[in-house]
Structure 1
Amino acid sequence: MSSIQDFYRDQTIFLTGATGFLGKLILEKLLRTCAVQKVYILVRPKHDKTLQQRFHSIFDSPCFDLLRSSEPDFGKRVSLLSGDCSQRFLGLSEEARRLIKEEVTCIIHAAANVRFDTDLRTAVYTNVRSVKDLLELLGEVEKLRAFVYVSTAFSHCFRRTVAEEFYKVDDKPDKLLQMVEIMDDRMLNVMTPHILGDWPNTYVYTKALAEELIRAHKQTFPVVVVRPAIVTSTITEPLPGWIENFHGLVGVILGVSLGVLRSLQLRQDVEARMVPADLVVNNILAAAWAIQKSEGGDSIPIYNFTGCSGRLLTWGGLIKEFKRYMYVYPLSKTVWYPFVQTSSYKLVHQVRVFFFHTLFSYFVDCMLFMARKRPMAVEKYRKINKLVDVLGYFTVRSWNFQNDNVQALWKKMSEDDRKMFNFDMRDVDWSKYSENSILGGRLYLMNDSLDNVSKSKKKMYFLAIIHYVFIALMVYVLYRLLSPVVQMFL
């Protein structure tokens, strides 16, 4: 075994967020490469599924296929704990808390509400109170060797330079929790913009508050914070291009591929801070190992996992790469010819949204209404526009992320560990990665078989003809309408 594998051998892990994209990959990597004794995972009850159904549905994911081929009964090493990060003490029963206190040796808190448009109450309960309660619980964990908190590189995104250090937050998490508990929804919604201040959304704001809790907490146990940038499809493990949700950047790319998203607010010369999910997982697991190798001290190590400046794709380069492969592997469900325009100016973007999204959505709904079908385009485009608006903050700005700790961790690792837990982004083949991401989105999100590629290309050519004929007609109509006005002034 390598040093990191040896660290995890026979350990009992408590993992939150195992039902999510990143959490599944952490769980898969631990079970496949590390001889862990047991992994306790937190599963939230749902009204439409029992806990056991949700538990088993986790392992139906394609990301467990490689593990399943080598260890068919790997599920025996995974135990279910009923809980909910939005509830007090994560909704854990007394028995579950006793198991954690007596058996667990390593805790990885990867659960979070990652939606940018979440209301403040939900975001605070899930992203802040859960950390507060976990910190309280940690003091009673008898065999704790490491606690890893997965934050975000954008927790202090209003700063142009983000070092691997804590930044003090003026708002006190405890006072905010009290405020959230006593205010009704209407009052809290009114107060939210004033509470957020410099933060653009509730997600990054509550992540900053969670870091403040960790900073202010007296360090009596080994704690480490990992701050990944925009987490995207896997690069190699457990399979290339795997993705599971439509949130964030992947949803935008698929929107462009489907032809429904035609305007983006971004600066083409700004680096796209994307980090493949499997490399994030490796950085998280290595960070827990490294806390055991540290020389002590009062500081809590922070890792800004944001890629290497100068070796990342720009947003313009990213759009170019994805355009190339979305024409090679067109989606069978494409509704219009993929055609997207970009601008760093919000006003220009909003004008395009009005013509390309809003007017188009009302036209589609009128057609659906006349066909006696349920109108849906206006509501769909409202959600699309909201997603693009919240992402605009991050696609027109650039940051100087310092990552000395990430580099030092890489140097500290042995050659075996670098191969097994690789998170080096200096030599990423972004063209190949873009191709795999397009394929992954097609296969794992759209359930669109590659057998349909030939048929989809014919549909793409047909849509291209309609698109350019439509553009030509629009130009002609505008010319006919405006030419008399122009002649009046000549």
Structure 2
Amino acid sequence: MDGSPPPMGVAEYYAEKTLFITGATGFMGKAMVEKLLRCCPGIRAMYILLRPKKGVGVEERLSNFLNNQIFDKLREKYPENLAKLKAMAGDILEENFGLSDEHIKTLQRECQIVFHGAASVRFNMSLKDAVNLNIAGTYRALRLAEGMSKLEVFVHISTSYCRSDVQVLEEKLYACRHNAHHLMELVQWMEPELLDLLQKKITLPEPNTYGYTKCIAEGLVAEYNGRGLKSVSRLVLHENPFVEMFWFPDGTPTHSRLRHRIDAFLSHTIPAYLVDAILWCIGQPRFMVRVKQRVSMGLEMLEHYISRSWCFKNGYFMSLRQRLTPEDDRTFFTNLNDINWMEYMNNYVLGMKYYCLKEDPALLPKARKRYQRMYVAHKVFMVLRFL
């Protein structure tokens, strides 16, 4: 018989652990906080960094955070675990995150696990701001973690797209072109105007400051290591259209930039100006050209990522999955082969309609009728534009 002890489960590892999390209010942060508190109920305490915002204190922000629908299942299953979530007032732009002496001592005395997820995902951010948030913020998190006497794990949440010049991305740290410490010094003394002029040259081959600074931040964390679907989407939108749909949702992927620009001009630019002209004639505020410009800007920033194929190696991830206990394999679902993508996209759109757009599910029949009218109008427009 094998005398080795049975593998420790995920929930078992987190039992009686104290966590500190930055970026908890973000998209990924909310999901992680909820999953940990619901699936690892033995967690002792979870401290999250919150910044007072627009006159709203951290306790009020924490209350608003916990009222989010994402915590409904947690409220049903382990309502007592909500009390384990505690806010610490601070800001990642300040030394020691601007935490009070009392909070710093608490973390130094109790914290075993740090998740650093606070970062800016704005692709058009200036280099100075991106460095201060994504690199210097990570450096401050590492410095803070150094003082935690019980620290076991420091997790830096990065991005898969921090080396866009590599054809096949492996599960490893890639060498950075620049040193994080030199870069943090550079943005402090260089004039902002000169820094803006040099920004593209500095960040190459990355297309924006986000990917560049996340890559540098990974290298910074490494320094401390060891120290202490097209057809599916259309069918889903056909079954679950939006109530306030302005136009029929359509689109054809293309590798031709010229064709994309022609289609965008005919389907986006011209209709936007026509709508604003009609609104002006009837004395209503114009907004469609502004919306179109925002959409175009967003597509331009994402073009580098959505117009090419990406290949990610996941051997380490798969080997890690094989080490999960059967119970953890069910709780922390990681087998993408078992995902029903039609069901996934259907739930995705329904969730967006309900949670983001605040649409009443009872209005779905009305939305489907509107969808059919928009479809006819769309086909008529497609014919007329080529006459």
TM-score by length of 2: 0.93
Check the 8 A contact 2:46/2:86 in 1, yes or no.
Answer: yes
Q: Which residue of 2 aligns with 1:413?
A: 324
Equivalent position SS for 1:475: coil
1:469 partnered with 2:368? no
Deviates more, 1:30-39 or 1:424-433: 424-433
1:211 partnered with 2:211? no
Q: Which residue of 2 aligns with 1:324?
A: 235
- Deviation of residue 70 (structure 1)? 2.2
Check the 8 A contact 1:88/1:129 in 2, yes or no.
Answer: no
Residue of structure 2 aligned with 1:12, choices 15, 18, 24: 18
Check the 8 A contact 1:14/1:40 in 2, yes or no.
Answer: yes
Alignment of 1:377-388 (within 5 A): 377-388=288-299
Q: What amino acid does structure 1 have at the position aligned with 2:147? A: E
Q: Which runs of 5+ in 1 are unaligned?
A: 222-317, 477-490
Q: Which residue of 2 aligns with 1:376?
A: 287
- Deviation of residue 436 (structure 1)? 1.1
> Closer, same or farther in 2 for the Cα pair 1:343/1:59, shift >3 Å?
same
Q: Which residue of 1 aligns with 2:362?
A: 451
Equivalent position SS for 1:95: helix
Q: What amino acid does structure 2 have at the position aligned with 1:81? A: M
1:63 partnered with 2:70? yes
Equivalent position SS for 2:338: coil
Equivalent position SS for 1:390: helix
Counterparts of 1:88 and 1:216, CA distance in 2: 19
Residue of structure 1 aligned with 2:28, choices 2, 22, 35: 22
> Closer, same or farther in 2 for the Cα pair 1:22/1:188, shift >3 Å?
same
1:151 partnered with 2:158? yes
Counterparts of 2:227 and 2:146, CA distance in 1: 8
Check the 8 A contact 1:16/1:109 in 2, yes or no.
Answer: yes
Counterparts of 1:2 and 1:66, CA distance in 2: 25
Q: Which runs of 5+ in 2 are unaligned?
A: 1-6
1:351 partnered with 2:262? yes
Residue of structure 1 aligned with 2:304, choices 387, 393, 405: 393
Q: What amino acid does structure 1 have at the position aligned with 2:39? A: T
Counterparts of 2:148 and 2:51, CA distance in 1: 22
Equivalent position SS for 2:337: coil
TM-score by length of 1: 0.74
Structure 1: 4+ residue segments shifted above 4 A: none
Q: What amino acid does structure 2 have at the position aligned with 1:171? A: H
Counterparts of 2:351 and 2:166, CA distance in 1: 34
Counterparts of 1:145 and 1:78, CA distance in 2: 20
1:177 partnered with 2:184? yes
Check the 8 A contact 1:41/1:79 in 2, yes or no.
Answer: yes
Q: What amino acid does structure 2 have at the position aligned with 1:320? A: S
Alignment of 1:5-404 (within 5 A): 5-34=11-40, 35-217=42-224, 219-221=226-228, 318-404=229-315
Q: Deviation string for 1:379-429 (max 9, x for gaps)?
A: 211111111122221222223322121111111221122122222212221
- Deviation of residue 48 (structure 1)? 4.2
Counterparts of 1:126 and 1:195, CA distance in 2: 17
Q: Which residue of 2 aligns with 1:292?
A: none
> Closer, same or farther in 2 for the Cα pair 1:72/1:366, shift >3 Å?
same
Check the 8 A contact 1:2/1:417 in 2, yes or no.
Answer: no
> Closer, same or farther in 2 for the Cα pair 1:61/1:175, shift >3 Å?
same
> Closer, same or farther in 2 for the Cα pair 1:48/1:376, shift >3 Å?
farther
Counterparts of 1:388 and 1:432, CA distance in 2: 27
Equivalent position SS for 1:15: strand
Q: CA RMSD in A?
A: 1.8
Identity of aligned residues (%): 28
Counterparts of 1:161 and 1:470, CA distance in 2: 42
Deviates more, 1:429-438 or 1:117-126: 117-126
- Deviation of residue 2 (structure 1)? 6.1
Q: What amino acid does structure 2 have at the position aligned with 1:9? A: A
Q: Deviation string for 1:61-94 (max 9, x for gaps)?
A: 1110011012334332111111122333323233
Q: What amino acid does structure 2 have at the position aligned with 1:51? A: V
> Closer, same or farther in 2 for the Cα pair 1:422/1:465, shift >3 Å?
closer
Aligned length: 380
